[in-house]
Amino acid sequence: MALRPIIILPDPKLRLISEKVERVDGALKKLMDDMIETMHDAPGVGLAAIQIAEPIRLVVIDVARKEEPPNPQVFINPEVVWSSDERSTYEEGCLSIPEYYAEVERPASIRARYLDRGGETREILAEGLLATVLQHEIDHLDGVLFIDHISKLKRDRVIKKFQKAAKRVGDGSHVL
């Protein structure tokens, strides 16, 4: 397993539409393991492959509490097939937008279809934090960031802040 650098705003790759995974093979499993290690190290509760510059539809999530053993879950080609009318609000952050948090309202529960680590089709009814994280990560696969769900004023402000920071560093594409 290996830690992979996480790309951050304003890296244009974050806006790419990721490609569907066609084959669940050894290389993909290695990538899953690297992503899980990178997510745990960060630490974060979710990571989409595009955040380590791999534009494929692969997501890892671990919403286990600190006092619980790690419980990483892998979602390949995840898609939302149902979402509740009921909505909930969480304060969200993103490993690609470090140290910025904002409240985002989303459907409170969703049903998602995906392939598991073994390539089997599964469905999950996600509620609470898992529902939010899964929607946040599926957004990444379509080039959508959580700041797209907040006001334009706030979004422009945070984008400008990261553009300035990137200019200062000269290369804002990696968190080291």
Q: Where do contacts with Ni ion occur on this chain (CB under 5 A)?
A: 94
Q: CA–CA separation, 159 vs 145, rounded Å?
A: 11
137 is catalytic: yes
Task: Give whichever of 7 and 94 is closer to Ni ion, judged by the CB atom.
Answer: 94
Contacts of 99 (CB under 8 A, 6+ apart): 93
CB of 62 to Ni ion, least distance (A): 14
Task: Give whichever of 63 and 94 is closer to Ni ion, judged by the CB atom.
Answer: 94
CB of 94 to Ni ion, least distance (A): 3
Q: CA–CA separation, 5 vs 136, rounded Å?
A: 20
Q: Which of 37, 86, 105, 137 is catalytic?
A: 137
CB of 60 to Ni ion, least distance (A): 12
Q: Which residue is nearest to Ni ion (CB)?
A: 94
φ, ψ of residue 107 in degrees (nearest 5): -55, 140
Task: Give whichever of 7 and 28 is closer to Ni ion, judged by the CB atom.
Answer: 7
* Amino acid, single-letter form, for residue 39: M
Catalytic residues: 137
